[in-house]
């Protein structure tokens, strides 16, 4: 019930591998000898990473540039990966983004795209690759949730709700899979130093969270170890663990206005 050892005819598919946590997951897996399938929109960045992994670790790396918000591009990517013939022994559902702003202030459609990527693409890819794993009785999935998903976050409303889905889905699936030889692990970090804050339009909030933010290399190492061990869930670091606990136990009547004030001031 964990990620199988590397094999020449197998691969681990990482979404959002062009930068941030996804790129570090790919590097960590490559260092351990895993063949990789890299997915994101930025083909050039993926090709550069693929070249680095091939030359440093002598592993097989495939690149698939795809916009996972788009159902047809996602399905075409899945078909192309299958056609390559390598067994997908591991799946890291990492691609995702957030928007720090009130829902009414966000460009129409942006939040729909967020749900399509953070929720629907993650669900569809799990569905696509989990079944063959269960038939073989081996394989592992790592889903990027977030501490943002353990409570509602005004100002980060749709993002937190999307991660609540990922957190809940992943832990329940882990339990459903018991005895199948396949595992699903939730990796739920707090703030991590990546392009995430900039892409979220987070302004000052980014500077604030960067004081407690951790490096993506540390998150990736912990994530791969958790996936290798078939763990149910992991929140890397004590501060995010305490934050997640606080978000669950502080009464909502106190917590929600407080968060709204902080995120409102930081926009
Ligand atoms: N950073 C944090 O503080 C933090 C905390 C908790 C959880 N997380 C979660 O960790 C995951 C990775 O975030 P990160 O911090 O590494 O963010 P990041 O540096 O912004 O990287 C996001 C990755 O997702 C890919 N991506 C975005 N939109 C995509 C699309 N439509 N189709 C395919 N790929 C797409 C990006 O590649 P392209 O632009 O090339 O497509 C990029 O590789 C996300 O799910 C995020 O929610 C992050």
Tell me which residue has its CA closest to atom 44 in ligand 1.
96
So which residues are the catalytic ones?
159
Q: Whose CA is nearest to atom 2 of ligand 1?
A: 192
In ligand 1, the atom with minimum distance to the C-alpha of 23 is: 43
CA distance 86 to 8: 8
Q: Strand order in 233-234's β-sheet?
A: 61-65, 36-40, 10-15, 87-93, 139-144, 182-187, 233-234
The lowest-confidence range among 2-6, 207-211, 215-219, 253-257 is: 207-211
CB atoms within 10 A of CB 175: 9
CATH code: domain of residue 109: 3.40.50.720
Q: Which of 14, 21, 123, 166 to mutate to test the pocket of ligand 1 (most atoms within 8 A of CB)?
A: 21
Residue 50 forms part of a structural domain:
yes
User: pTM of the predicted model, to two decimals?
Assistant: 0.97
Domain that holds residue 101: 10-266
pLDDT at 202 > cutoff 80: no
Specify whether the CB–CB gap between 128 and 78 falls below 8 A: yes
Q: Is the CB of 165 within 6 Å of ligand 1? A: no
Q: Is the CB of 43 under 6 A from ligand 1?
A: no
In a domain, 3, yes or no: no
Percent of the chain whose pLDDT exceeds 90: 92
pLDDT at 264: 80
Does 39 fall in a domain?
A: yes
Measure the CA–CA gap between 221 and 216, rounded to whole angstroms: 9
235, 192 contact by CB (below 8 A): no
The token pair that represents 61 in the structure block: 């790396």
With the most atoms of ligand 1 within 8 angstroms of its CB, the residue from 15, 37, 97 to mutate is: 97
Mean pLDDT calculated for residue range 154-182? 97
pLDDT at position 1 over 60:
no
CA–CA distance, 97 with 4 (Å, rounded to integer): 29
Q: Quote the pLDDT of residue 81.
A: 98
Give the total number of structural domains in the chain.
Answer: 1
Confidence (pLDDT) at 212: 83
Is 69 touching ligand 1 by the criterion CB < 6 Å?
Answer: yes
């Amino acid at each position: 019930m964990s990620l199988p050892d590397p094999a020449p005819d197998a691969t681990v598919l990482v979404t959002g591998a062009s930068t941030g946590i996804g790129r570090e997951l790919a590097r960590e897996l490559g260092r351990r000898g895993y063949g990789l399938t890299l997915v994101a929109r930025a083909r050039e960045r993926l090709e550069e990473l693929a070249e680095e992994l091939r030359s440093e670790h002598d592993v097989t790396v495939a690149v698939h540039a795809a916009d996972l918000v788009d159902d047809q591009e996602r399905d075409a990517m899945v078909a192309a990966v299958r056609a390559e013939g390598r067994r997908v022994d591991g799946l890291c559902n990492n691609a995702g983004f957030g928007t720090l702003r009130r829902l009414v202030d966000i460009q129409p459609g942006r939040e729909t795209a967020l749900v399509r990527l953070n929720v629907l693409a993650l669900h569809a890819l799990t569905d696509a690759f989990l079944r063959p794993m269960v038939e073989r009785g081996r394989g592992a999935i790592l889903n990027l949730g977030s501490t943002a998903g353990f409570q509602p976050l005004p100002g980060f409303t749709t993002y937190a709700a999307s991660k609540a889905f990922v957190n809940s889905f992943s832990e329940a699936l882990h339990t459903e899979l018991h005895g199948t030889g396949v595992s699903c692990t939730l990796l739920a970090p707090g703030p991590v130093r990546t392009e995430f804050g900039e892409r979220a339009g987070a302004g000052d909030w980014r500077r604030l969270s960067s004081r407690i933010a951790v490096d993506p290399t540390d998150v990736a190492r912990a994530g791969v170890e958790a996936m290798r061990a078939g763990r149910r869930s992991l929140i890397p670091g004590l501060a995010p663990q305490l934050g997640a606990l606080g978000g669950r136990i502080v009464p909502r009547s106190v917590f929600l206005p407080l968060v709204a004030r902080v995120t409102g001031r930081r926009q």
